[in-house]
């Protein structure tokens, strides 16, 4: 379960922030619709009611949908039109997506409603806020969205629940019929009216929510990657000279590279291990996986910054089709196409996969007695009798391989739908789903490097690590023992994963390096 937040997020016509999305999705922040937004919603609804009463064909109000848009719908059938839309489009299959994804998706769709561009009633917007505030989460199957015309199937499953149909999880995580959960929470089912069903499903909300959370998670993992790289450099008797500031900003001013180099340089400050071999080391240069860590880690940082720029633009967007303009016009458009979001989701998966790849190379180097500068084979207590961390690297290599497979872009594919009316789609939802797995795998890859580097540092007997890396090793040793005879390794690796994901690794390093980025 997500932790409870005392924060309340107020929705107005001006939009929301990344932190607002994460607070609602992950921390159960309450949602409040501002008086300003209520006025805007009511004004746009008046336009829809006027169109619904008139004789001019309006897509989704008095016509069918997709390839059936030429079909005129009688006034008496227009309420059924909206309900039928949601029921037919709630066609996802597979396991339920994560609670935080559904909460982000519902919150972002509500954000669009409060813009006054969709034509829904205030009661419908309030129902979404009530669902979020009651902790009711519709069951949204993983497969069904093409990332165009909105995340249609996922959003339809949410709309279906607000109608009192389908399945949900209540605040305790128990699965039950939507109507049962709504009765317990005192929420009345919504009877959809003109255009409202369409307004609930035409958006990039699912893929955008996952992009925002991925940006936050990957930014945190970049800091961890700098920490584990610094620890590996110590464990492998590498040099810190290549991270000096004058070798980065003045020579190659990539923002991310400068930040990662500064992190690693600061993390290695006052390292007795590094100092022990500076004057008598015959090696001219360290291997790329050590020496080029800021170039790779920094490029990932820059990719995240670019993706966050696109996500920020999308967060300022109010996507529906048709859309209500301030002068009352209702216009069809193609803003629901997920290409801008899909591309950066794929870009992030490529960058994150490569970050894991370079971490695995450092791990492998520490375990190979021919390349580890005197460390025992596989960092084993009694090599031969013990296998040490040999198979941890196998696990890490498996994760890296899986991420390389998942880095193949989803957005280059398009399968036409709706009888060729929707003949080009973004596959952005698929890009987002695989990115979540890449990020999860990356946290495991870095955790294995953490465990390996900490053991390598411990094996440099008589030498003192840097205060920052020593702080991280101390934190790890609270849950993962050091060198010793072989033992059941899986629980220790899982504990290290939890340490990485919790933020405690970065916190331990920041106790020494206050400005770690």
Q: Which residues are catalytic?
A: 59
The Cα-based distances of 57 to 72, 120, 283, 289, 369 in angstroms read 7, 18, 77, 62, 75
Of 159, 1, 28, 179, the closest CA to residue 89 belongs to: 159
DSSP code string of 298-330: HHHHHHHHHHHHHHHHHHT----SSEE-TTS-E
Under 8 Å between Cβ of 289 and 361: yes
Under 8 Å between Cβ of 249 and 258: yes
* Token code pair at residue 507: 């916190």
The Cα-based distances of 90 to 137, 342, 372 in angstroms read 15, 22, 55
Beta bridge partners of 386: 383
| Cα 149 to Cα 334: distance, rounded to the nearest angstrom | 8
Backbone angles phi, psi at 324, to 5 degrees: -95, 120
H/E element, 106: helix 99-113
Q: How many CA atoms lie within 13 A of 166 on its CB side?
A: 29
| Cα 99 to Cα 103: distance, rounded to the nearest angstrom | 6
First to last CA, the chain: 29
Of 103, 147, 151, the closest CA to residue 129 belongs to: 103
Q: How many CB atoms lie within 10 A of CB 253?
A: 9
| Cα 298 to Cα 282: distance, rounded to the nearest angstrom | 29
Residue burial 55-69, b: 16+ Cβ < 10 Å; e: rest:
eeebbbbbbbbeeee
Beta bridge partners of 30: 8
DSSP code string of 352-414: HHHHHHHHHHHHHHHH-TTTTTSPPGGG-SSBTTB-TTHHHHHHHHHHHHHHHHHTS-STT--
* Token code pair at residue 73: 């719908």
């Amino acid at each position: 379960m997500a932790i409870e937040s005392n924060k309340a997020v107020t929705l107005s016509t001006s939009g929301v922030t990344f932190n607002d999305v994460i607070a609602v999705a992950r921390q159960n922040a309450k949602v409040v619709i501002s008086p300003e937004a209520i006025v805007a919603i009511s004004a746009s609804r008046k336009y829809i009611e006027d169109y619904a009463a008139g004789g001019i064909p309006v897509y989704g109000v008095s016509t069918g949908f997709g390839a059936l848009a030429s079909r005129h719908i009688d006034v008496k059938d227009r309420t059924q039109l909206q309900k039928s839309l949601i029921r037919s489009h709630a066609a996802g299959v597979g396991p339920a997506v994560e609670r935080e994804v559904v909460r982000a998706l519902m919150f972002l769709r509500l954000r669009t409603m409060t813009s006054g561009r969709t034509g829904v009633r205030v009661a419908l917007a309030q129902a979404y806020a009530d669902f979020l505030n009651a902790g009711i989460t519709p069951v949204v199957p993983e497969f069904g969205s093409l990332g165009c015309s909105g995340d249609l199937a996922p959003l339809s499953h949410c709309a279906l629940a607000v109608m009192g149909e389908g399945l949900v999880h209540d605040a305790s995580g128990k699965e039950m019929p939507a109507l049962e959960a709504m009765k317990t929470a005192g929420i009345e089912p919504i009877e959809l009216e003109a255009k409202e069903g369409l307004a609930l499903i035409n958006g990039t909300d699912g893929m955008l929510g996952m992009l925002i959370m991925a940006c936050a998670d990957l930014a945190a993992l970049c800091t961890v990657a700098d920490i584990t790289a610094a620890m590996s450099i110590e464990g492998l008797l590498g040099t810190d000279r290549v991270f000096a500031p004058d070798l980065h900003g003045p020579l190659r001013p990539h923002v991310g590279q400068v930040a990662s180099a500064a992190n690693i340089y600061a993390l290695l400050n006052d390292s007795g291990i590094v100092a022990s071999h500076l004057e008598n080391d015959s090696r001219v240069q360290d291997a790329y996986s050590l020496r080029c860590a800021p170039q790779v880690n920094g490029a990932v940082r820059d990719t995240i910054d670019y993706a966050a720029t696109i996500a920020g633009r999308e967060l300022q967007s109010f996507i529906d089709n048709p859309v209500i303009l301030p002068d009352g016009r209702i216009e069809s458009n193609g803003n629901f196409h997920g290409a801008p979001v899909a591309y950066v989701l794929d870009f992030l998966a490529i960058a994150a996969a490569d970050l894991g790849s370079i971490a695995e190379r450092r791990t492998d180097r520490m375990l190979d007695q021919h390349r580890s500068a005197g460390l025992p084979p596989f960092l084993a207590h009694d090599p031969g009798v013990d296998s040490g961390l040999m198979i941890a690297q196998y696990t890490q290599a498996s994760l890296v391989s899986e991420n390389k497979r998942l880095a193949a872009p989803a957005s280059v594919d398009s399968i036409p739908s709706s009888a060729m009316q929707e003949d080009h789609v973004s596959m952005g939802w698929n890009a987002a789903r695989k990115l979540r797995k890449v990020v999860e795998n990356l946290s495991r890859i870095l955790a294995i490097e953490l465990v390996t580097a900490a053991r390598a540092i411990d094996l440099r007997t008589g030498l003192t690590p840097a205060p920052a890396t020593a702080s991280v090793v101390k934190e790890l040793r609270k849950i993962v023992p050091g060198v010793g005879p072989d033992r059941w390794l899986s629980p220790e690796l899982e504990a290290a994963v939890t340490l990485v994901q919790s933020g405690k690794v970065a916190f331990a390093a920041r106790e020494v390096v206050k400005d770690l980025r």
